[in-house]
């Protein structure tokens, strides 16, 4: 029962739910410590301001408490909580939509842009090596660790993620920032495995490109 | 598989969602290509850096508010 490959609730989840139903404050605050930061980060993707995001998360907690009696353990407690959160945030985001311009591009996004600028490859008509790197990336091994792991570099990563289309931002935030599994993300967002992977790849490719621009392609250093 | 194709498959590769035969061709290409070796490595670093963004604490005021939410719910239940 504790081993739940299908993503159902664990014994620990069920014990927590029983404690919450019994009115155990400590159990609730433990959940808050565990999930509040991630919930805030996710809510922020759907609404215009941090204040509204905090409000959304609070509403989601109310929804969680009110829904406890209906929790049947078919999904993990975390998946269930984040589904409530995402629904709450989306509803609020739609209500805000008239004043938030980016919401209009949410659904339609013909994202076929390549991971790497096509000019960096030899053309597909090249006689010798079609599609081979013409301008290969220069490794970051020569980048000092202090720069690579600096606050400034992380701020660049953060900016790159903020600039992503919303659906890509959702997936990379859940997978790579919060460290969820692909099953967690599929459950929370109700998207297919393939869709999840495509969005994740687009997002990672853009963040890598931003880092390459920020850290320098290396050409300046080597020549 | 050429370099411009390979860069589109890196997440499939890292997710382990490639057919074995395609995976073999991916590995074979990377082992003979410095550019793609570097690209794959940068992708991994990018993922690691992204994972360093989440080190946040719950603010005390939020904790207080949510404790209030819980007590209200308990009182009304």
pTM, whole model, 2 decimals? 0.76
CATH dotted code for A11-99 = 1.10.1740.10
Distance from A137 to chain B by nearest Cα, in Å?
A: 6
Tell me, what's the pLDDT at A219? Answer: 43
Task: Give span(s): CATH 1.10.10.10, chain A.
Answer: 104-215
Tell me, what's the pLDDT at A76? Answer: 87
How far from chain centre, in Å, is Cα A65? Answer: 25
Contact B3 A139 (CB under 8 A): no
Closest residue in A to B16 (Cα) is A197
Q: Which two tokens stand for residue A188?
A: 């929370």
For the stretch B15-49, pLDDT in tens is 999 999 999 999 999 999 999 999 999 999 999 99
Contact B46 A207 (CB under 8 A): yes
What are the C-alpha distances in Å from A124 to residues A183, B10, B21, B32? 37, 20, 23, 20
Q: Which residues of B touch A (CB under 8 A)?
A: 2-5, 7-8, 10-12, 15, 17, 33-36, 38-39, 41-43, 45-47, 49-54, 56-58, 62-63, 65-67, 69-71, 73-74, 77
Distance from A106 to chain B by nearest Cα, in Å?
A: 23
Tell me, what's the pLDDT at A38? Answer: 85
* Average pLDDT of the segment spanning B2-19: 96
Tell me, what's the pLDDT at B58? Answer: 87
Tell me, what's the pLDDT at A103? Answer: 40
Tell me, what's the pLDDT at A220? Answer: 46
* Average pLDDT of the segment spanning B5-22: 96
Round to whole Å and give the CA distance between A90 and A82: 12
Closest by Cβ to A37, choosing from B4, B54, B65:
B54
Distance from A124 to chain B by nearest Cα, in Å?
A: 9
Contact B38 A25 (CB under 8 A): no
Question: Quick one: CA dihedral A176, A177, A181, A186, positive or negative?
Answer: negative
Task: Give span(s): CATH 1.10.1740.10, chain A.
Answer: 11-99
* Average pLDDT of the segment spanning B1-11: 96
Contact A176 B3 (CB under 8 A): no
Tell me the residue length of chain B: 77
- Name the CATH topology of A104-215: Arc Repressor Mutant, subunit A (1.10.10)
For the stretch B48-71, pLDDT in tens is 999 988 767 788 999 999 999 999
* Full pLDDT tens readout for chain A, 223 residues: 333 345 788 899 999 999 999 999 999 999 999 899 889 988 988 888 889 999 999 999 999 999 999 998 888 898 899 999 999 999 998 888 744 444 444 444 555 778 999 999 999 888 888 999 999 999 997 888 888 888 899 999 999 998 999 889 999 999 999 888 998 898 888 899 999 999 999 999 999 999 999 997 544 444 3
Tell me the residue length of chain A: 223
Closest by Cβ to B52, choosing from A154, A172, A204:
A154
Interface TM-score (ipTM) > 0.85: no
Give the list of residues 6+ apart from residue A21 with CB closer than 8 angstroms, or none.
A68, A69
Tell me, what's the pLDDT at A53? Answer: 93
């Amino acid at each position: 029962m504790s081993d739940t490959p299908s993503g159902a609730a664990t014994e620990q989840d069920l014990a927590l739910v029983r404690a919450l139903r019994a009115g155990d404050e400590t159990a609730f605050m433990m959940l808050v410590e565990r999930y509040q930061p991630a919930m805030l980060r996710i809510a922020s993707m759907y609404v215009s301001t941090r204040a509204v995001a905090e409000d959304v998360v609070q509403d989601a907690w109310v929804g969680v408490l009110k829904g406890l009696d209906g929790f049947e353990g078919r999904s993990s407690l975390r998946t269930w909580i984040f589904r409530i959160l995402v629904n709450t945030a989306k509803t609020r985001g739609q209500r805000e939509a008239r004043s938030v311009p980016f919401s209009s591009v949410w659904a339609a996004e013909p994202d076929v842009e390549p991971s790497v600028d096509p000019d960096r490859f030899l053309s597909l008509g090249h006689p010798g090596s079609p599609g081979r790197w013409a301008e290969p990336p220069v490794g970051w091994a020569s980048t000092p660790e202090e720069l690579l792991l600096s606050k400034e570099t992380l701020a660049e990563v953060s900016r790159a993620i903020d600039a992503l289309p919303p659906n890509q931002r959702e997936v990379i935030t859940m997978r790579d920032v919060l460290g969820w599994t692909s099953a967690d993300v599929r459950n929370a967002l109700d998207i297919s495995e393939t869709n999840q992977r495509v969005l994740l790849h687009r997002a990672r490719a853009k963040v890598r490109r931003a880092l390459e621009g920020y850290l320098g392609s290396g050409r300046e250093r080597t020549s | 598989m050429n370099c411009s194709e390979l860069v589109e498959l890196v997440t499939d590769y890292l997710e382990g969602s490639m057919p074995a035969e395609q995976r073999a061709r991916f590995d074979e290409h990377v082992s003979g290509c410095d550019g793609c070796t570097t690209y794959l490595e940068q992708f991994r670093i990018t993922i690691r850096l992204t994972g360093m963004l989440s080190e946040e604490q719950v603010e005390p005021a939020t904790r207080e508010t949510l404790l209030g939410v819980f007590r209200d719910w308990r009182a009304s239940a």
